[in-house]
Structure 1
């Protein structure tokens, strides 16, 4: 059983998973301690509010996002980022559509089968 991704991945060869609700996800790299994921939001799509045990940093690649972290909402655009500590309630909506890079520590076990 594999417990980490390949050392190199190519965007045009790595699977892009439709996770529903106008969101798509592509694994960029991971092991048990760290994970990076690219997320596409269609215009108006929402990443529902949720919480998990992982620390998370999100970097906005393109588009505009309204991020809610523990009841505080901020508008973030390309080049901005945010940090969600473990168990923080958070979610995001993209009125324009856009792309995020999410990093998690430890890795999100629910995103891959081999952790």
Structure 2
């Protein structure tokens, strides 16, 4: 396995705009697991969607209104949530913030 698959430095990856007006950068990935950082401005929306991947998300900065399968909670910096495969989910940034998401398996559509 290459060093690029084992380690990542903060400025090693470029931000990419997302279709919903936010930004993301793939931090690390293998075929089995992927880590992606998402940046949101205050009021930014992560549109409701679903995918077959299991997702875990850590709130690195900010506060988010998170809806998973019709259930909503406010999750702030230091908090986290899990999205089981196939459930509809989305977020709204209540203040500027960052989410660090992990997906299994890897999201090939982000590469």
The structural deviation recorded for 1:19 is 1.6
Match of 2:104 in 1: 105
The structural deviation recorded for 1:14 is 1.4
The structural deviation recorded for 1:8 is 2.3
- CA–CA separation in structure 1 for the residues paired with 2:12 and 2:54: 28
Say which SS state the counterpart of residue 62 (structure 2) adopts: strand
- CA–CA separation in structure 1 for the residues paired with 2:65 and 2:94: 8
Match of 1:26 in 2: 25
The gaps in structure 1 that reach 5 residues or longer are none
Asked if structure 1 preserves the Cα contact closer than 8 Å seen for 2:33 and 2:104, the reply is yes
C-alpha distance after superposition, 1:71-92 (max 9, x if no partner): 0000000011000000011000
The structural deviation recorded for 1:7 is 2.7
Match of 1:53 in 2: 52
The structural deviation recorded for 1:21 is 3.5
The structural deviation recorded for 1:15 is 1.1
Asked if structure 2 preserves the Cα contact closer than 8 Å seen for 1:66 and 1:76, the reply is yes
The structural deviation recorded for 1:20 is 4.3
Match of 1:15 in 2: 14
TM-score w.r.t. length of structure 2: 0.91
Worse overlay, 64-73 or 12-21 = 12-21
TM-score w.r.t. length of structure 1: 0.88
The gaps in structure 2 that reach 5 residues or longer are none
Worse overlay, 10-19 or 47-56 = 10-19
